[in-house]
Amino acid sequence: MTVHQPPGGQPLRSVSALIDAGVVAPERRASLEAVAGRYAVSVTPAMAALIDPANAADPIARQFIPDPAELVTLPQEIADPIGDEAHSPVEGVVHRYPDRALLKLVHACPVYCRFCFRREMVGPGGEALTGDRLDAALAYLAEHKEIWEVIMTGGDPLILSARRVHEIARRLAAIPHIKVARWHTRVPIVDPGRITVDYARALRVPGKASYIAIHANHPREFTDEARAALARLADAGHVLISQSVLLKGVNADVATLSALMRAFVENRVKPYYLHHPDLAPGTARFRLSLEEGQALVKSLRGHLSGLCQPTYILDIPGGAGKIPVGPAFLSACGAPGAEAFAEDRHGEQHRYPPG
């Protein structure tokens, strides 16, 4: 595979930059400019270096390189597919579940995933949550004593400076009823050089359990640099969990999904959520059916360590929340209280007695 490095090591934020770096053919310029005019484009040097432009089905390119199919919006696709806006009591806060809330600190990301469920809301130029608006968001979290966990998201909060994340961590630490602080990020994978020892320490929220959800979708994303960044976070005392999206053409096959989950576990990241793709505009090319997803997840059980098993999740459109949609291995045989059938990893059925 040919390795490409963007000039000057800067993110590729335009179609021209993608062409100059050799990851997009020049003849695609016109069609991709139309996409870039609607949805943000950014590919970090770490991800650009993994793209094989000779492979039309390259799974890294599929995640980050724009495609004309993004301009086709199906009737069932909606701008806010998981209903953030309906559950936002103040700017920057989403309070969908009683005991936890999102704190959306930024609207920008180091990379823009072509399947992003917030693609209508994120992009360059979006203001970070600062000043009076940050004060109001933190005041809401402090006033609502039922909030046990705060999840920092965006955008990607780890594009903020160490000074800024340390300040936010310090202010969260002063809210006694918050016991768990969780950062959601792609940075350790797509821009691993940002995760220095000092940065990893700055993310700690004193007196709180510290979790970091690492977003990766393909085993090739685990470069040596990414593995080192994850090690720095784990060594700093953060509990690392995973977040992936089941994507057609990227990881929707048994071998790739297995390798991805093993890569997480090898790097001290516990597989957590495997998301069914949301109904974001222009993302139909990534979606598979729930039945196909269930079959893939079922294939992991019994063939991979229990440490490697994610929870397959559907975010109900409109903001009703997440539900597990994993496959069933137990089926009833008849009336309540009757024996059941338990299916093993080979697909064979075994009777299980009632009671």
Q: Which of 118, 220, 287, 298 is catalytic?
A: 118
Is 78 within the bounds of a domain? no
CATH number for the domain harbouring residue 220: 3.20.20.70
Q: Are residues 28 and 89 in the same domain?
A: no
Active site residue 100: yes
Q: Which of 62, 96, 186, 298 is catalytic?
A: 96
Q: Please give the Cα distance from 227 to 233 (Å, whole number).
A: 10
Q: Are residues 353 and 317 in the same domain?
A: no
Q: Please give the Cα distance from 28 to 215 (Å, whole number).
A: 29
Active site residue 109: yes
Q: Are residues 106 and 218 in the same domain?
A: yes
Q: Are residues 197 and 181 in the same domain?
A: yes
Query: Which among 197, 165, 201, 207 is positioned nearest to 184, based on CA atoms?
Result: 165
pLDDT digits (tens, 9 = 90+) for 326-340: 988 888 766 667 888
Q: Which of 113, 182, 220, 273 is catalytic?
A: 113
Active site residue 298: no
Active site residue 38: no
Active site residue 113: yes
Q: Which of 80, 156, 191, 278 is catalytic?
A: 278
Beta bridge partners of 241: 213, 270
Query: Which among 38, 50, 45 is positioned nearest to 17, based on CA atoms?
Result: 45
pLDDT the model gives residue 334 = 62
Is 303 within the bounds of a domain? yes
Q: Please give the Cα distance from 50 to 61 (Å, whole number).
A: 8
Tally of domains in the chain = 3
Beta bridge partners of 346: none
Per the structure block, which two tokens stand in for 47?
């991800």
Is 66 within the bounds of a domain? yes
pLDDT the model gives residue 344 = 87
pLDDT the model gives residue 41 = 97
Q: Please give the Cα distance from 258 to 300 (Å, whole number).
A: 7
pLDDT digits (tens, 9 = 90+) for 227-252: 999 999 999 999 999 999 999 999 99
Q: Are residues 243 and 166 in the same domain?
A: yes
Q: Are residues 181 and 221 in the same domain?
A: yes
Q: Are residues 128 and 140 in the same domain?
A: yes
Q: Are residues 303 and 203 in the same domain?
A: yes
Reduced to 3 states (helix: H, G, I; strand: E, B; else coil), residue 205 is coil
Average pLDDT along the chain, 355 residues, taken 10 residues at a time: 51 97 97 96 97 95 98 95 93 97 96 94 84 98 98 96 97 98 98 98 97 98 98 98 98 98 98 97 97 96 94 93 90 74 87 81
pLDDT the model gives residue 346 = 84
Query: Which among 281, 295, 284, 221 is positioned nearest to 247, based on CA atoms?
Result: 284
Is 79 within the bounds of a domain? no
Is 128 within the bounds of a domain? yes
Q: Are residues 64 and 100 in the same domain?
A: no
Q: Please give the Cα distance from 202 to 284 (Å, whole number).
A: 38
Active site residue 315: yes
Is 90 within the bounds of a domain? yes
**Count, residues in the chain:** 355
Q: Are residues 283 and 311 in the same domain?
A: yes
Q: Are residues 189 and 297 in the same domain?
A: yes
Per the structure block, which two tokens stand in for 310?
């994610």
Active site residue 278: yes
- Residue 185's domain comprises 85-324
Q: Which of 13, 28, 100, 268 is catalytic?
A: 100
